[in-house]
Each structure stands twice: as structure tokens, then as C-alpha cells.
Amino acid sequence: MDFQEPDTDFPTVTEHDLLIATRFCRLVVQTPELLAYAMQLKHPDLDLHADQRCQAEEDVREELSNVVLFDVLVSGRDARFDVGDFGQDESDQVAYDEHFLSEDGSEVVEEDSVVPSGKSLRVAFFLHFVDPSKPLNTNYGQVAIPPIQPMPARLRNLVPYEPVD
């Protein structure tokens, strides 16, 4: 897989032959279906009193409002690469539900922690409670987070968000 040097607009970290570029970050779109599914996972006993239900929905909405899908290019990767180590300072949240994408990002080539072979790859993963003012930590250094945008339908279908319980 050969990646072009990213546009200078994309935050990068470089080390020798390594290049990590955060292509974009996408906020998970809160649909009524996603909210209902997350509520069912987190509160399987949906027989909550009205005030409890209201608080539970508020908590779930807050959690969903801070979930971001990252699309990251890695070129010149070595044995240190571990997407599970990607996260932010002062947070216990780490990358999860990673999907390795084709070079153009149009299809999933591997998922469920199966890392494709080769020195270069493109990976999409979710991160909870993202602070856009803080960089993304990687095994190779920190990468600035580009402006967060809504997730387009194409990515919602390609890399659907699964709420955690």
C-alpha cells in the first residue's frame, strides 16, 4: 500500500520513515435508533421511573455526544504499532472497534483487531470523551486533532458505531 504524503492541512507526526496523519475526525450522529439501542444496552430494565429514565437518557446522550471516529493513515509502521495505545492524556479511554480500511477508505479490509500486513495502513477507530483541544497520543508521538465534523452516511454504513454497555 503506498500513501501519498498528506496535504499539509492534516496534522502529522513523523519519525524517520514513519508518518501518521489524522485524516479527519467525525462525530457520531445521534439517531433515535442509536439512542434507543444504547439505552437498551446500558439500561436493560427500561422500567425506570420518569425521572430516572430522563437522567439515563441524558447520560447516554452525553456519552454519545463525545464519541469520535478517527480516520488515520500510518506509513512506515514498525513493530511498535498498536492502535489500542491510541488515546489522550488524562483519559482512560483508548481506541476501540478498529476497522482497517482500503487505501482510498472505500471499504473495510480487516476488523476485530486483525492488523493487515505491510508498512502502511489506514485505520478507523472510535474514541470516547474526546477533548478536541488535546492531541491524539500514538506509539510514535502526539498528533493534533483536526476540526471535528459530523460523520457522513457513507462512514456510518462502512464503520457503524456500536454503543458499549
- How far apart CA 50 and CA 57 sit, in angstroms, is 10
pLDDT in tens, 19-45: 555 555 666 778 888 888 998 888 887
pLDDT per position in the chain (165 positions), as tens? Answer: 333 333 334 444 554 444 555 555 666 778 888 888 998 888 887 677 888 888 888 888 888 888 888 888 888 888 888 888 999 999 999 998 999 988 888 889 987 777 888 888 888 899 988 898 999 888 888 888 888 887 777 788 888 888 877
- Residue 155, pLDDT score: 80
Closest by CA to 102, choosing from 67, 29, 154, 149, is 154
Mean pLDDT score of the chain: 79
**Model confidence, pTM:** 0.78
